[in-house]
Each structure stands twice: as C-alpha cells, then as structure tokens.
Amino acid sequence: MSALTLSTERAGSCPDVRQRRPTRPQRELLRLWLERIAARRALAALHPEQIREAGLDPVRVRAQSLKPFWRA
C-alpha cells in the first residue's frame, strides 16, 4: 500500500493557483440568479387565495415557481 503525503502549503501560496475575482458579467449573472431564486420561492409560498386575489393564474404561478433559476 502506498503512503499518502499531505502538504502544509496553502492553496493560495502555490504559484500555479491564481485567485481570480469574478468579472462584472459573472457578478451580474449571479445577482440575477439569486433574484430569480428568491422570487420563485416567494411565488411557491403563496396561498391559492392570495394568487386569486392578485388576479394571477394558479397554473402559471406554479409553473413559474418550479422553473430552475437559470431559465428566464
């Protein structure tokens, strides 16, 4: 059986590992996804009576709340 050797160096100190900050488009995409997640969770939490009072179609509200966050 071979021995396992663990390094005490931190990943950030390794010269070939670069820490990159997300670009503006990446940050904007993440923000959009987080907004969609929050909005779809809020829709899913609505009571059917609240949906009707708002004049929304319950079937469409359910379909929208079940969509993955990456889909518009």
Query: Does the residue 8 lie in any domain?
Result: no
pLDDT tens figures, 35-55: 999 999 999 999 999 999 999
Domain count, the chain: 1
pLDDT attached to residue 18? 74
Residue entry with tokens 């949906």: 51
∠ CA 26-22-25, rounded to 5°: 25
Query: Does the residue 14 lie in any domain?
Result: no
pLDDT tens figures, 9-36: 665 565 666 789 999 999 999 999 999 9
For residue 46, what are the domain limits? Answer: 22-66
Q: Is 58 left (phi over 0), alpha (psi -120 to 50) or beta?
A: alpha
Query: Does the residue 15 lie in any domain?
Result: no
Residue entry with tokens 């079937």: 59
Does residue 8 surpass a pLDDT of 80? no
